[in-house]
Amino acid sequence: MCPSDAQPAHQRAEFDLDVLAPNGLRRGRTTGSCATAAVTAALRLLLHGEEVAEVEVLLPDSLHFLRVPIMRVFKMDAMAQGLVRAEVLKDGGDDPDSTHGATIFAEVRRNATGEVRFIAGAGVGTATLPGLRVAVGEPAINPVPRAMMRQAVALQLYGADLNSGAGGFDLTIGCENGHQIARKTFNPRLGIVGGISILGTSGIVEPMSLATWIASVEVYVRVALAGGADSVAFLPGKIGRDFAKDVLGLPEKRAVQIANFLGDSLDFTQTALAEEGRRLPVLWLAGHPGKLAKVLDGVWDTHSSKSNMAMGVVARIAAERGYPAALVEELANANTVEAAMERLKMEGDPARAQALWMDIEQRIGACVHGRVPAVDRVEVRLFDLHGNRLGA
């Protein structure tokens, strides 16, 4: 065992993937952990002449390491300072992960620059649009996996014989069949071409957790804001998508499907704008009031398991606008917000109903604006389940 191997075991505890997550499902390894393991194994052969079946990967929490099996590691030519390749099986645990079962590989060779350089191998994409965590033209290898791999290089250099070359390395990271796998992801929409992304902020895949979903929303928000966008639209679902495309004329990348994560999306927006030191002229919210009106009750995660339905909000504002008490009670007791809409239609005064919905839109906009002060104006448009506009 070389000194670089003893260090993580002595300083950190092992993260045991056999211990199930709280929901009873199995955790897995991120593509970032797999790539780091492959780099480590390749360096072990290149620098120490050791073919290993398992390596330890230090996790970003500075507290744990992960044992990762190596499928195979071999020299790709006969030269002592030549190219070495290592392969790792991506195990996403019980999480529905498009890269589960894929082979992540690293091809490592020395370079004369003294620097660690990242190269997109076959099946790993390249960024072509601004707003991602990596610059345009760079391999789609996110910052945390890059940091993990740089740390792996530093650890393997400890005690190695560097007389025959500088401490620089080219790390070519790839994924077998990654081009096909990427079609199942949002990479093509995000402007990542040629394959998958090497991702992960913790090194561990939490099964069926919302963390990956929320992280992807942050990426979509940043891509939407990139390039000095003067307006973007947040859509909780498919409702409002046609409005963003056909009425607002926004390109697809400027319309973000935020699901139930309105609060997170707004926070991501504020952070990104602050980092860029600029303001966003207008943020559009387009969707069903069953989701968006919940913010008027202080609800920012609109999933039904996290909040009550929004009929009470509609009823409360209807009361404030002078609707009869009996009708207000019917609205509050409706089974769904859609049913409340139908009840309002039965009143036979569409102009009054439109005014109610416009009032709700304006209140939502004001509430949301308080969470994103870097946005000049928030515009809200509400629609029924058929995509019909509720306001005037």
- Give the model confidence (pLDDT) of 103-137 as tens digits: 999 999 999 999 999 999 999 999 998 777 889 99
pLDDT at 3: 37
Q: Is pLDDT at 166 greater than 50 in this prediction? A: yes
Residue 373 and residue 296 share a domain: yes
Question: How many structural domains is the chain composed of?
Answer: 2
Whether 161 is covered by a domain: the verdict is yes
Are 198 and 185 spatial neighbours (Cβ–Cβ below 8 Å)?
no
Rounded to whole angstroms, the Cα distance separating 178 from 102 reads: 8
| Site of tokens 């390596």 | 55
Domain boundary among 205, 235, 268: 205
Whether 392 is covered by a domain: the verdict is no
pLDDT at 24: 77
Residue type, 3: P
- Give the model confidence (pLDDT) of 280-339 as tens digits: 999 999 999 999 999 999 999 887 667 788 999 999 999 999 999 999 999 998 878 888
Residue 193 burial (CB < 10 Å; 0-12/13-18/19+)?
Answer: middle
Cα distances (angstroms) measured from residue 155 to each of 36, 152, 200, 259, 371: 12, 5, 20, 41, 43
Q: Which two tokens stand for residue 113?
A: 């620059």
Domain boundary among 153, 181, 205: 205
Whether 376 is covered by a domain: the verdict is yes
Residue 28 and residue 176 share a domain: yes
pTM: 0.65
Name the DSSP letter for residue 27.
P
- Give the model confidence (pLDDT) of 146-163 as tens digits: 999 999 999 999 766 554
Q: Which two tokens stand for residue 359?
A: 């009032």
Residue 220 and residue 193 share a domain: no
Q: Where would I find the H helices in the chain?
A: 3-11, 31-48, 143-157, 178-182, 187-190, 211-225, 241-242, 262-276, 289-292, 311-320, 325-332, 337-345, 350-369
Domain region containing 125: 3-205
- Give the model confidence (pLDDT) of 62-73 as tens digits: 999 999 999 999
First and final CA of the chain: distance in angstroms?
A: 73
Residue 338 and residue 279 share a domain: yes
Residue 246 and residue 169 share a domain: no
pLDDT averaged over the chain? 90
Cα distances (angstroms) measured from residue 374 to each of 13, 132, 133, 225, 257: 42, 20, 21, 12, 21
Cα distances (angstroms) measured from residue 309 to each of 199, 326, 338: 35, 20, 11
Q: Which two tokens stand for residue 177?
A: 């069949």
Residue 279 and residue 172 share a domain: no
As a dihedral over the C-alpha atoms of residue 273, residue 276, residue 279, residue 285, rounded to 10 degrees, the angle is -30
pLDDT at 35: 98
Average pLDDT estimate for 238-243: 88
Residue 139 and residue 229 share a domain: no
CATH of the domain at 140: 3.30.2110.10
Residue 258 and residue 143 share a domain: no
Cross-strand partners of 196: 124
pLDDT at 31: 97
Portion of the chain with pLDDT greater than 70, in percent: 92
Residue 242 and residue 198 share a domain: no
Residue 224 and residue 177 share a domain: no
Domain boundary among 181, 205, 229: 205
Rounded to the nearest 5 percent, the helix, strand and coil shares of the chain are 40, 20, 40
Residue 182 and residue 289 share a domain: no
Residue 130 and residue 104 share a domain: yes
Q: Shortest CA distance to 23 belongs to which of 207, 204, 202?
A: 207
